[in-house]
Structure 1
Amino acid sequence: MAMKIRLARGGSKKRPHYSIVASDSRMPRDGRFLEKLGTYNPLLAKDDENRIKMDMDRVKHWLSQGAQPTDRIARMLENAGVLAKKTRNNPKSAVPGKQMAERAAKKAARAAAPAEE
C-alpha cells in the first residue's frame, strides 16, 4: 500500500482549513484516511503557533513506515526540522515571458535613441 502524508481540505468556500492526514495514496483527497496527524490553518498569521499543529511522534512513525510526504507537507516538515532541506532549482522562474521580453527590448531601444541624438 502506497502511503502519503497529505492535506485534506475542510472548511467552507473561501475559508479553508486543512487536516494533515496519513492515507493511502489511492484514496480521494478528502476521503478515507488512516490517521489524523495535525491541522493547518492558512488564514492565521505566519508567526502564529496555531497555524500548523502536528503530532511529530506520529509523523516520524509514518515516515519510518515508508509514507511519502507531499510537497507542501515536506516543506512544513523541513521548517520543523524533521526532514533535511532539499535544494530546489527553478531556472525558468527568473526568465521573462515572450511579451515582457519584447517590452523590455522596446524600452531599451527608446532609452538608447535619445542618447544618440
Structure 2
Amino acid sequence: MAVVIRLTRRGAKKKPFYRVVATDSRSPRDGKFLEIIGTYDPLKTEDAVKIDAEKAQSWIQKGAKPSRTVATLLKQAGVGQ
C-alpha cells in the first residue's frame, strides 16, 4: 500500500476548504483516509494553512509521499522534510 499525503475537498460550491490527509494512493480524492493531518483554507489571507507538524513528520518518516501542492503547503507551514 502506497501512502500519500494529499488534499481532500470540503466546503460548499465556490467556497472551497481542504483537509490535508494521509491516504492510500488508490482511494478516490474525497474517499476514505488514514488520518487528518491539517487544513487549508484558500479564501483566507492569514493563517490559511494549519498542519500538525508531528503527524506530518511521522507519516513522511513512514514513507508517505506528499503531493506537489501539499509539499508547498508544508513549506509554508514550516514543516521541514
Q: TM-score range by the shorter chain?
A: over 0.9
Q: 1:78, CA displacement in angstroms?
A: 2.3
User: Is 1:38 aligned with 2:42?
Assistant: no
Find 1:54's aligned residue among 43, 48, 51.
51
Structure that is richer in strand per residue: 2
Q: Secondary structure at the match of 1:36?
A: strand
Q: 1:81, CA displacement in angstroms?
A: 4.4
- How many equivalent residue pairs? 80
Displaced runs of 4 or more, over 4 A: none
Q: Secondary structure at the match of 1:43?
A: coil
Q: Which residue of 1 aligns with 2:16?
A: 16
The one-letter code matched in structure 2 to 1:52 is: V
Q: 1:82, CA displacement in angstroms?
A: 1.0
Cα distance between partner residues in 1 of 2:30 and 2:56: 19
The verdict on how the C-alpha distance between 1:81 and 1:56 changes in structure 2, with shifts beyond 3 A counting, is closer
Q: Deviations over 1:21-60 (max 9, x none)?
A: 0000000000000000010000001xx12x1001100000
The one-letter code matched in structure 1 to 2:21 is: V
State the structure with more CA Rg. Answer: 1
Which 5+ residue runs of structure 2 have no aligned equivalent?
A: none
Q: Which residue of 1 aligns with 2:68?
A: 71
Which 5+ residue runs of structure 1 have no aligned equivalent?
A: 84-117
The verdict on how the C-alpha distance between 1:39 and 1:72 changes in structure 2, with shifts beyond 3 A counting, is same
Greater RCO (Cα-Cα under 8 Å, separation 6 or more)? 2
Structure that is richer in helix per residue: 1
Q: Which residue of 1 aligns with 2:26?
A: 26
Q: Which residue of 1 aligns with 2:80?
A: 82
The verdict on how the C-alpha distance between 1:39 and 1:81 changes in structure 2, with shifts beyond 3 A counting, is closer
Cα contact 2:8–2:29 (8 A) shared by 1: yes
Indicate the RMSD between aligned Cα atoms, in angstroms: 0.9
The share of aligned pairs that are identical, in percent, is 45
